[in-house]
């Protein structure tokens, strides 16, 4: 029987009576929910009794990314320092997904809602939810060769690990309708889509190592993930699909590309799980056979240097050189800048309320040797 009728803060100065071991790749919320169940207390009630009502709204935040240092210290103390709480949160990828920005509730470009593999939940000796299931590019269970679910297949509700259906059933059941998530229909990948799993594995390896090697160059993982955002915008927002349209994964994205996709909210949030699977597979294909595929993508879509870099906040030397080798910032003769680049620059200025002037164009193109003519402005 799960209890909900305990006095708030009644256990504020007490340790957790039962401290379960952390399972491989387990998320913080999964571990905390299991801890609550072992005490036969609803997760929200368990939080209230140990932390007081001042923390009662904490579950409105995603604690897998939003658990701050103060709370980490409190939770660690509650476990008698037996559990490394910080290792359970996705904050550990700070410096890997982004250069100098903390992975938190407001910086979640590569973080999704919780997903799940019904086979894993069914076969686990102790069922639990993985940290990696919250990464936006993890869309398939590589172990069971099937798509993950990002919502309850019965009622389409997002998975919540701290809510319980009628205050009785654990996180193995949809908190909204009570559906047993382990009974979700298995969505096995077709054989011609297997490259998408390879792409997912490569991205996970890049994140874990913190770098990727291209020929004789070592590239930090956060630099590569910034590049992925730019390529995503080119494919989904600008509709530059030549070259990638030859990949079998493209058929999953074909209908989405026919739609008008808004920049906000973040573009990844506009795609379902299978569409994300296809997108990341296509992007990784662009970087296969390096740099041949990358150059083919640029040339077949007739992309300029400006198209490839204009929305990247921090342009890395690696990417700048790679793009410039394929579509130079300047023409070979006279250090000229193309009319198309100037027009794109003017559009950029208008969108951002920047004065269209010779000085601003020179700053943008990082050159003082080229003198823009009045008719170009």
Q: What is the pLDDT of residues 207-232, one digit of tens each?
A: 999 999 999 899 999 999 999 999 99
48, 10 contact by CB (below 8 A):
no
Q: What's the confidence (pLDDT) of residue 333?
A: 40
Q: What's the confidence (pLDDT) of residue 30?
A: 97
Q: What is the pLDDT of residues 251-269, one digit of tens each?
A: 999 988 888 777 666 788 8
Rounded Cα distance, 364 and 311, in Å: 12
Q: Residue 9, SS3?
A: coil
The CA distances from residue 142 to 147, 185, 346, in Å, are 9, 17, 46
Q: What's the confidence (pLDDT) of residue 1?
A: 45
Q: Which two structure tokens, joined as six digits, stand for 318?
A: 């690696």
Q: Which two structure tokens, joined as six digits, stand for 148?
A: 């993950």
Q: What is the mean pLDDT of residues 98-120?
A: 82
Q: Which of 63-67, 172-176, 202-206 has the lowest mean pLDDT?
A: 63-67
For residue 212, give the H/E element and its range. strand 211-214
For residue 218, list its beta bridge partners. Answer: 213
Name which residue leads in pLDDT, 367 or 260: 260
Who contacts 267 (Cβ-Cβ below 8 Å, separation ≥6)? 232, 233, 236, 237, 261
Q: What's the confidence (pLDDT) of residue 128?
A: 98
| % of the chain at pLDDT higher than 70 | 89
Most distant CA atoms of the chain, gap in Å = 80
Q: What is the pLDDT of residues 266-285, one digit of tens each?
A: 788 889 999 999 999 999 99
Rounded Cα distance, 338 and 361, in Å: 13
Q: What is the mean pLDDT of residues 169-192?
A: 95
Name which residue leads in pLDDT, 1 or 160: 160
Q: What's the confidence (pLDDT) of residue 152?
A: 97
44, 56 contact by CB (below 8 A):
yes
Q: What is the pTM of this model?
A: 0.84
Name which residue leads in pLDDT, 70 or 114: 114
pLDDT(98) > 60? yes
Q: Which two structure tokens, joined as six digits, stand for 56?
A: 């009662």
Q: CA nearest 138: which of 111, 157, 158?
A: 111
Question: Phi and psi dihedrals of 267, rounded to 5?
Answer: -60, -35
CA atoms 331, 334, 337, 338: torsion sign:
negative
Q: What is the mean pLDDT of residues 163-170?
A: 91
Cα 155 to chain center, whole Å?
Answer: 24
Q: What is the DSSP letter of 21?
A: P
Q: What's the confidence (pLDDT) of residue 56?
A: 78
Rounded Cα distance, 180 and 150, in Å: 14
Helices 273-286 and 292-300 sit at what angle, rounded to 10 degrees? 110
Q: What's the confidence (pLDDT) of residue 133?
A: 97
pLDDT(106) > 80? no
Q: Which two structure tokens, joined as six digits, stand for 302?
A: 């007739």
Q: What's the confidence (pLDDT) of residue 374?
A: 44
Q: What's the confidence (pLDDT) of residue 250?
A: 95
Cα 18 to chain center, whole Å?
Answer: 33
For residue 130, list its beta bridge partners. Answer: 26
pLDDT(317) > 80? yes
Rounded Cα distance, 76 and 20, in Å: 13
For residue 220, give the H/E element and its range. strand 217-220
Q: Which two structure tokens, joined as six digits, stand for 145?
A: 């060769």
Q: Which two structure tokens, joined as six digits, stand for 334?
A: 């006279």
pLDDT(332) > 50? no
157, 175 contact by CB (below 8 A):
yes
Rounded Cα distance, 317 and 298, in Å: 18
The CA distances from residue 153 to 42, 218, 269, in Å, are 24, 42, 18
């Amino acid at each position: 029987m799960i209890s909900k009728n305990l006095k708030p803060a009644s256990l504020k100065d007490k340790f957790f009576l039962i401290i379960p071991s952390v399972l491989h790749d387990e998320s913080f919320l999964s571990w905390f929910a299991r801890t609550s169940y072992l005490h036969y207390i609803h997760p929200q009630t368990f939080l209230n009794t140990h932390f007081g009502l001042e923390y009662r709204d904490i579950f409105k935040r995603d604690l897998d990314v939003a658990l701050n240092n103060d709370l980490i210290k409190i939770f660690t103390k509650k476990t008698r320092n037996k559990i490394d709480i910080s290792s359970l949160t996705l904050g550990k990828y700070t410096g890997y997904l982004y250069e100098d920005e903390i992975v938190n509730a407001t910086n979640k470009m590569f973080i999704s809602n919780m997903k799940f593999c019904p086979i894993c939940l069914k076969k686990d000796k102790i069922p639990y939810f993985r940290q990696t299931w919250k990464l936006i590019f993890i869309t398939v269970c590589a172990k069971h060769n099937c798509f993950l679910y990002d919502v309850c297949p019965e009622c389409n509700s997002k998975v919540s690990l701290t809510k319980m259906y009628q205050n009785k059933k654990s996180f193995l059941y949809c908190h909204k309708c009570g559906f047993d998530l382990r009974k979700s229909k298995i969505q096995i990948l077709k054989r011609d889509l297997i490259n998408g799993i390879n792409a997912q594995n490569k991205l996970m390896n890049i994140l874990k190592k913190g770098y990727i090697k291209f020929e004789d160059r070592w590239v930090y993982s956060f630099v590569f993930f910034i590049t992925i955002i730019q390529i995503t915008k080119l494919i989904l927002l600008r509709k530059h699909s030549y070259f990638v349209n030859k990949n079998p994964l493209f058929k999953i994205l074909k209908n989405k590309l026919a739609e008008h996709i808004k920049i906000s909210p973040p573009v990844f949030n506009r795609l379902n799980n299978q569409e994300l699977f296809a997108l990341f597979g296509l992007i990784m294909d662009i970087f296969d056979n390096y740099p041949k595929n990358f150059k083919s993508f640029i040339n077949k879509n007739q992309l300029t240097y400006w198209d490839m870099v204009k929305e990247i906040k921090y342009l890395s030397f690696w990417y700048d050189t790679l793009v410039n080798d394929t579509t130079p910032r300047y023409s070979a003769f006279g250090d000229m800048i193309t009319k198309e680049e100037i027009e794109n620059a003017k559009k950029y200025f208008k969108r951002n309320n920047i004065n269209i002037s010779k000085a601003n164009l020179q700053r943008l193109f990082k050159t003082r040797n080229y003198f823009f003519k009045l008719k170009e402005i």
